[in-house]
């Protein structure tokens, strides 16, 4: 099901998390926050919208890391029902797209609920203090990749790193709904 992200309260603090990465190491909000901010990306392995942007996400995250903005990706889908999103497939997906950032498993789906994530991909950009400054899309493309790509997340987080504020205009992300256990959300 195609879903659009709702508006978010700018300036709100990032919900805390403590999640395992693909090697079983625990990553927390505190350990993930960069000197100039953090991108929290809710993604999965099987969504065509995520598949279409995975390489650009990896490249943009590398560029942001150089600016002191870290990235974490979180997979919150019910992987018992959607086996393509299993931890084993998360490892394959991260390797295939050269993720240089932690890909975390939200097995209980509590972190996605705390953030208000609704789709994959869903992007949250925080400043150095962990305050929300961006809730939008990666770029101006969808499954069909544009020839004139506008890296909206990269540009927004560059602005956050330099000024502490996000852009006044932010466009919502579009993607597949998060696959909630028992559709309980």
Instruction: Find the CATH number of the domain harbouring 37.
Output: 3.40.30.10
29: left (phi over 0), alpha (psi -120 to 50) or beta: alpha
Q: pLDDT for 45-96, tens place per residue?
A: 999 999 999 999 999 999 999 999 999 999 999 999 999 999 999 999 999 9
Strands 69-75 and 37-42: parallel
pTM of the shown model: 0.94
Percent above pLDDT 90 for the chain: 86
Query: Three-state DSSP class for 19?
Result: strand
Say which residues have a Cβ less than 8 Å from residue 64's Cβ, sequence separation at least 6: 34, 39, 70, 71, 154, 157, 158, 161
Domain total in the chain: 1
How does DSSP classify residue 14? P
Say which residues have a Cβ less than 8 Å from residue 136's Cβ, sequence separation at least 6: 5, 123, 125, 152, 153, 156, 170, 171, 172, 173
Q: Which residues of the chain have pLDDT under 50?
A: 184-185
Domain span at residue 170 reads: 2-183
> Residue 185's pLDDT is what?
44
């Amino acid at each position: 099901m195609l879903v659009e992200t709702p508006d978010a309260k700018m300036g709100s603090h990032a919900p805390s998390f403590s999640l395992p990465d693909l090697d079983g190491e625990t990553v927390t909000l505190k350990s993930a926050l960069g000197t100039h901010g953090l991108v929290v990306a809710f993604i999965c392995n099987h969504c065509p919208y995520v598949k279409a942007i995975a390489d650009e996400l990896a490249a943009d995250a590398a560029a942001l890391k150089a600016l002191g903005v870290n990235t974490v990706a979180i997979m919150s889908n019910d992987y018992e029902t959607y086996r393509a999103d299993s931890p084993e497939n998360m490892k394959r997906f991260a390797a295939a797209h050269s993720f240089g950032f932690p890909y975390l498993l939200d097995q209980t789906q509590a972190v996605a609920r705390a953030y208000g994530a609704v789709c994959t991909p869903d992007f949250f950009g925080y400043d150095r203090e962990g305050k929300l400054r961006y809730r939008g899309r990666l770029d101006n493309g969808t499954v069909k990749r544009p020839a004139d790509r506008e890296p909206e997340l990269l540009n927004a987080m560059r602005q956050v790193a330099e000024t502490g504020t996000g852009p006044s205009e932010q466009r919502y992300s579009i993607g597949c709904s998060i696959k909630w256990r028992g559709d309980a959300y």
